[in-house]
Amino acid sequence: MRVDILTIFPEMFTGPFDHSIIKRAIKKNLVEIHLSNIRDYSSKKHKNVDDYAFGGGAGMVMMIEPIDNCITSLSKERDYDEIIFLTPDGAQLTQKMANHYSMSGNLMILCGHYKGIDERIRENLITKEISIGNYVLSGGEIAAAVLCDSIIRLIPGVLGDETSALSDSYQDNLLAPPVYTRPYEYKGLKVPEILLSGDEKKINKWRHEKAMERTLERRPDLLEE
């Protein structure tokens, strides 16, 4: 998989992509992440990427020209399965969505800033708009890192145990059940006996029941879906 991220702050991705799961995926050549600085595609003398909004109002707006130049340039080199814009009013990111995009070949992600981007970009260049939650961030970079992590960890070969992702929360519209590790007893607190029984069928049944209980208690809306 190849992921192209369009941003005005490429240095913000240094930390998230240089550690843990994503670093492992890159090292195994399972994913390529390329950062494009939108300022490099601006025709302005000082590489400006924003301007005042027509009609007035507070805040600046990212201009259409540098973003169009960047998207057009990259699209000449390869076809993209999706050109994604991260925005608070986009479709809510879900595990099902992450599963879908983990099977992609090429993805492009646009990180917005300021008061937003020129609407003509959204109407004519973007193929999917995604939100990571009902709140507003200062820019799309953190959201892009979240989106990449949710997708890349699902690519076969990225996780040490490929079955691990199958038991994640939301995979079956259920939250994950409780998990325990050594020691068996700590300050009088013990691990449920069923988990030490060695009976895989009973353990799986217990885990499913606990997942149902936790989902009903914390996210009953998932069961309705």
**Residue 3 buriedness (CB in 10 A; 0-12 / 13-18 / 19+):** buried
Question: Mean pLDDT over all residues of the chain?
Answer: 94
Amino acid 217: pLDDT: 97
Q: Could you check whether 2-152 and 169-224 share the same CATH topology? A: no
Q: Delimit the domains of the chain by residue range.
A: 2-152, 169-224
Contact 47, 110 (CB under 8 A): no
Amino acid 104: pLDDT: 98
pLDDT tens across 147-194, in order? 999 999 999 999 876 556 665 767 788 999 999 999 999 999 999 999
Amino acid 170: pLDDT: 73
Give me the CATH code for the 169-224 domain, please: 1.10.1270.20
- 35: helix, coil or strand? strand
- 128: helix, coil or strand? strand
Contact 187, 148 (CB under 8 A): no
Amino acid 225: pLDDT: 73
pLDDT tens across 120-132, in order? 999 999 999 999 9
pLDDT beyond 80 at 95:
yes
- DSSP run (H or E) holding 108: strand 106-111
Give me the CATH code for the 2-152 domain, please: 3.40.1280.10
Amino acid 166: pLDDT: 60
